[in-house]
Amino acid sequence: MKKFVAKLALALLPAALWLAVFAAFEPNNYFGLRADTNGNAPIARLRAYEQTPHRAIILGDSRMAHFDMDLVDSVSGRSWSNVAYGGASLEESIDEFYYLQKNHPEINEVVFGVSFYTLNAGYRTANRMATIQTQLKNPAAYVFNLEYNINTLTVIGDKLAHRPDAAETAEHTAADYAENGAALPFRRDLIGYAATLYTNCAKAGTLPAAQTGADGELENAGALAAAMLAATPADSRFSINETALEDLLAMADFCQKNGIRLTLVLPPMDESVRALVCRPLGIDAAMAPALAKLKACGAQVLDYEWENDPGYADSCFYDGFHIDAVHGLPDYTRTLFAEVG
């Protein structure tokens, strides 16, 4: 019997060692063993909230996920938890709100990000909340998830190679605004970003294919910009996700009835998105009825996307949607949370 136990222990030793390594390096700080709470994955944000919950929360996609929370707390005069994460769909964020409110009924303030892009019926990411809830309640479901194990190996590789987390910030030169000696209407990478938005906003074939060189730089930015400027609403496949919109309006009603102060935020976008995507495809007109419903729902609406564009220079944007972490985000954070009140 002793030999069997010894052999079993020996056989299980590699698994035990990997479990120890996994617990130490898994990317979401699931077990709360590290001081960092900055993971951007949904389970990382929710686990961090469980470990240090606050009554005021921020929800939404990547445009709501990267605030300096010390600055947020300082400007607003209260403590917040940021449970927004990259790639969150509108449906996911709504389900996340109800999950958090059910488990933490003390929540009394919500800042919720929404935009034309997340209201777009063509933007349909899988709703991960049911799976995430299972993993939050069942550590085994988390430990044996293949994706998280692969991510752990990536984290270990990054640490061994001393690769720091990359911040969304960049410096730009005159070369970013020209192609083959001719001036571009917008910065090259902003044109490229606008072209990617056409995947979910326009019919296939509206634009020529993007061409990149060996260095990864966009080589036909001028042609892409011209094609986008020549597009018309007939090329659009943008439409409002009416189901998600109604769910958001129902959430606003729920907040009103339960004494939760809700602020709906439409983050600013660079002028390149407005000029190359929204105007040509008629998205501004398509959004008007949805905006009217949001403004009538009883929540505070801070619309920087359409009516109150702050007019930031393009250097304040890392890409067309995401504000530069160094050159724009601090100012936007102060503006937003001063207005949230």
CA angle centred on 95, ends 124 and 55, rounded to 5°? 135
- Measured in whole angstroms, the distance separating CA 331 from the mean position of its chain's CA atoms is 19
pTM above 0.85, yes or no: yes
10 Å Cβ neighbour count for 143?
Answer: 17
Residues contacting residue 172 through CB under 8 Å, at least 6 positions apart: 187, 315
203 — phi, psi (to 5°)? -70, 150
CA gyration radius for the chain? Answer: 23
Amino acid at 259: G
Predicted local confidence at residue 140, as pLDDT: 85
Nearest 10 degrees: Cα torsion 171, 71, 80, 307 = -60
Residues contacting residue 162 through CB under 8 Å, at least 6 positions apart: none
10 Å Cβ neighbour count for 124?
Answer: 13
Predicted local confidence at residue 125, as pLDDT: 67
Distance CA 61, CA 93 (A): 8
Predicted local confidence at residue 116, as pLDDT: 97
DSSP letter assigned to residue 209? P
Distance CA 111, CA 84 (A): 10
282 torsion bin: left (phi>0), alpha (psi -120 to 50), beta (else): left
10 Å Cβ neighbour count for 227?
Answer: 18
Distance CA 312, CA 320 (A): 11
- In DSSP terms, 253 is beta-bridged to none
236 — phi, psi (to 5°)? -80, 145
Instruction: For residue 109, give Cα distances in angstroms to 171, 216, 256, 337.
Output: 36, 43, 11, 12
- Measured in whole angstroms, the distance separating CA 74 from the mean position of its chain's CA atoms is 23
DSSP letter assigned to residue 287? H
Query: How confident is the prediction along the chain (341 residues), in pLDDT tens digits per residue?
Result: 666 556 655 665 677 787 777 778 888 888 877 766 557 888 989 999 998 999 999 999 999 999 999 999 999 999 999 999 999 999 999 999 999 999 999 999 999 999 999 999 988 767 888 888 888 888 888 888 888 888 888 878 877 776 777 789 999 999 999 999 999 999 999 999 999 999 999 999 999 999 998 888 899 999 999 999 999 999 999 999 999 999 999 999 999 999 999 999 999 999 999 999 999 999 999 999 999 999 999 999 999 999 999 999 999 999 999 999 999 999 999 999 999 98
DSSP letter assigned to residue 178? E
